[in-house]
Chains A and B, each alone.
Chain A
Amino acid sequence: MAAKTIISRPIYGTLSPQPGKHHLFIADAEGALAITDMAGKAPPGFFDGAEIDFIPGPEGKHIAALEALKPAQLHLSPSFASLLPRLKQTLTNAHMGLRLYLAGTEGLIGQAMQVALEAGMDHTSMQTEHRGSLARRMQCVHCKGITENVTTQPALCSHCGLLLLVRDHYSRRLAAFQGVCINAEDRSEIPPMEETFP
């Protein structure tokens, strides 16, 4: 987690088993480890009513560890975009009392939360745990384009090409941090790009 924070920046917790019969986990990459760590605290039979939607990422790790939990469903997706139609369907048809657990990168947590909010769930009723990369999902305030997996400060907008300051100001509705032109007042000033969100 970044040390400096402001109030709009999300605060993540540690996954813990919630009462109920229906549990939906959405995780990417290292987020799998948040689930396996939590499993140690879960009552017997907890995963009998659980679905895990997992995006392993390029390294493809942790799949066996999740299989070992014997969830009712383990669904693997190559990307969040490919998971989205299924996730929307699942949340639309969800029972009252479905418990949602989001674990992994901020981009994954934010986008899954965005879908759940649109489906009428309250953000405070979701369990979240940040694991893995600090990379940010960023909206360019100028052209409105979203740039995924931003690791540098400043960062280039992948749509309009402006050099943006990645702010801590965060919108749950957009599931994105705000990017604002860093050298708007004098375009000849080019601050060095540092790997701030590895």
Chain B
Amino acid sequence: MGITFRKETFRDDYTFRNSPEHIRRFPFPFNEDAYMYAVNIEPHVVGPKGSVLENLIDVDEHYVAEMQDRALVLAEDPLRCQSLPHMTLAGWDLLELLMEQQALGYPEHFTLERNGDRWRWINRPLGIDDTFTFGDTATLPYGPMEYITRQSQGDFCILDQRDGNLWMDAGMVTTQADWSLDFDIGMNFFEWHAPVPLAHEKGIFTRALKFLTNIQQGKPARRLNWTMTINPRLDTSPENYHKWGPDRATVTPENVGQKVHLRVELQSFWRLPRSNAIVFPIRCYLIKMDELVTQPKWARRLHRVIRDLPEELATYKGLTRYRPTLVEWLSKLDDGSPTSPGFGPD
């Protein structure tokens, strides 16, 4: 049985919802009652059936709606997808990876047929059936990175590896948590992370870079990151901050459950075979508070995490304006009882 894709929006009337099954599979990012940065990288291996890790590239009920939202963002601002001239080969690498993984995990929705360099790609949810020559950009309607990432959930950064560093030299970034590909393209690992507070001093980025530059083909890695978003808005870009920023001032005790969303990024890291680049998919999962608190353990834990978050992190994540309202609302769902270890719901 295939996925039933929801018809929903991530803007204007915000009809985005998670089904009960998708609430249970939400990648809740806190395995204890407090949060601080850590190099929380682990091997990206297949996880339990029914989880977001059932396949290494996850496709879910929001797929079609997310791809429609991406098309709207790109029509408004084509600079969200950029690739420096030396990155075309890495784009083909990424196209191969995403076609293979999506066809492997969801054969009822995606089919890849290969006959030498002649490839046929069928994407049933989006009504695409294209035949093209692998490596020949003229045979696709877009460059290879843009073509396949218009058909894959999550943002994608392709990092060129040279001089012992990683360089943000290509990307499709339409669902970002407040950073600008157009500004950061061409920067190295330390430069594009420069605005992140606290983590540099802790040596996080030095250790993370060492790990990432050693990633081997066929052995991807992953980590979780999180922030919060008001309204289920995928495009929380700095480009449009003056449009979505005012939403942060609209949170009231009455609307917390519907307006405030936990936003979790499942970040994975893959070595690409021909270009030796690293691709860094940033898959975004949203869940509104009313959905999240259907799992009592998550409600109790999130209350404690948000309440005790260091001020610098709260500021960096943009929570300052509505944190008191959110903590007060969550506190009513926290009876002080212990939470079980691990991420999952009880």
Interface residues of A (CB under 8 A from B): 6-9, 139, 141-142, 144, 162, 167-169, 171-174, 178, 180-181, 184-187
Contacts and interface: CB of A to CB of B under 8 A. Distances in A.
Interface of B: 79, 180, 182-187, 190-195, 200, 238-242, 245-246, 248-249, 321
B242 A181 contact: yes
A141 B194 CA distance: 17
Contacts of B194: 6-9, 168-169
A185 B249 contact: yes
A147 to B, nearest CB: 15
Nearest to A178: B183
Contacts of B185: 173
A185 B200 contact: no
Contacts of B191: 7-8
B180 A178 contact: yes
A6 B180 CA distance: 17
A184 B195 contact: no
Provide the main secondary structure of the chain A interface: loop
A187 B183 CA distance: 24
B239 A142 contact: yes
Nearest to B238: A141
B245 A184 contact: yes
Given A172-B187, A180-B241, 4 more contacts: A7-B194, A8-B187, A8-B192, A185-B249
Contact of B186 (A168, A172, A184): A172
19 contacts: A6-B194, A6-B195, A7-B190, A8-B192, A8-B194, A8-B195, A9-B194, A139-B183, A141-B239, A142-B242, A144-B79, A167-B195, A169-B183, A171-B184, A171-B186, A178-B238, A184-B246, A185-B245, A186-B246
Nearest to A5: B194
B193 A7 contact: yes
A171 B181 CA distance: 11
Contacts of B180: 141, 178
